[in-house]
Amino acid sequence: MIDTAAVAEIVDSAAKNAKAISQLSENGYPLSLAQAYQVQAQSIARRLERGERLIGIKMGFTSRAKMIQMGVDDLIWGRLTNTMLLEEGAELDMKNYVHPRIEPEIAFRLKQPLKGEVSLLEAMAAVEAVAPAMEIIDSRYENFKFSLQDVVADNSSSSGVVIGAWQQPSCDLSNLGMAMFFDGEPVQIGSSAAIMGNPYRSLVAAARLAAAADMTLEPGWIVLAGASTAAEALRSGVHVRLETEQLGVAEISVA
Ligand code: OOG
Ligand code: MG
């Protein structure tokens, strides 16, 4: 029997102290996928006990580009807490991370609850606002290498999120150009179409996957649709800017 609470303490400490650990799957913890989600829930429960608040969830591996980059081809999800939310234009400190990467995303803010099997139209109707966003992922595993179970247990590498201006969900999101720049140089260029053909499909999947953990996506929550391109490693001194057609920009700097 695997003591999931003990494993949750290992991944939570690694995240808290920004210290890499070896892969659980190769280190005596061959978790099933269900156990990996259990570890994730227990590690986030530890953060909530320390006073953090749940603000939504993030989807992962919703694009081919991400699946190929990381060698994992199942949809995954993770929990977002208030301390992960970075102010737009904020300055990150590399010492708070193990080996952070950044990726272009689209964020939804809900006005109605979503749970279980919902249609694309129901998911769209539950959205109050949409925004361009960038996720900072920071796998706690050495060399950013993991199995499906490892990454799920590690809250799907969630570390930070920066969200641009929220706006009415009036435009068609199915094929918006997205370009991410490091110091003005384009480093990743793609389209929101890469996210399951339409980012709203990721929201449908989010409602279904969260329901399997008996979780409802709540009004006011944020759902990150998953990256449209591969992620880029952050480095000291870099300024990162995402430009998304129709939706505008999101920016962040590293000290
Ligand atoms: C896992 C998280 C994947 C996405 O947007 O696809 C993810 C990772 O790549 O470390 O956040
Ligand atoms: Mg992501």
State the amino acid at position 161 in one-letter form. V
Pick the residue whose CA is nearest to atom 7 on ligand 1: 60
Pocket around ligand 1: residues whose beta carbon is below 6 Å from it?
58, 60-62, 66, 70, 103, 135, 137, 139, 151, 156-157, 226-227
Q: Mean pLDDT throughout 40-63?
A: 98
Mean pLDDT for the stretch of residues 20-48: 96
ipTM for the assembly: 0.99
Q: What are phi and psi of 254, to 5 degrees?
A: -110, 135
Mean pLDDT computed over 48-56:
98
CB 156 within 8 A of CB 76: yes
Residue whose CA lies nearest to ligand 1 atom number 3: 60
Q: Which domain holds residue 14?
A: 4-254
pLDDT of residue 89: 85
| pLDDT score for 192 | 98
| Average pLDDT of the segment spanning 163-172 | 96
Count CA atoms closer than 13 A to 252's CA, side-chain side.
Answer: 28
Residue 69 makes CB contacts below 8 A (sequence gap 6+) with: 230, 231
Task: Calculate how far, in angstroms, residue 158's C-alpha sits from the geometric centre of ligand 1.
Answer: 8
- Rounded to whole angstroms, how far apart are CA atoms 160 and 135? 6
Domain count, the chain: 1
The predicted structure's pLDDT at residue 32: 97
Q: Which ligand sits nearest to residue 139's alpha carbon? A: 1
Please report, for the domain that includes residue 247, its CATH number: 3.90.850.10
Q: Indicate the average pLDDT of the chain.
A: 97
The string of pLDDT tens digits covering residues 195-240 is: 999 999 999 999 999 999 999 999 999 999 999 999 999 999 999 9
The tens digit of pLDDT for each residue in 123-143 reads 999 999 999 999 999 999 999
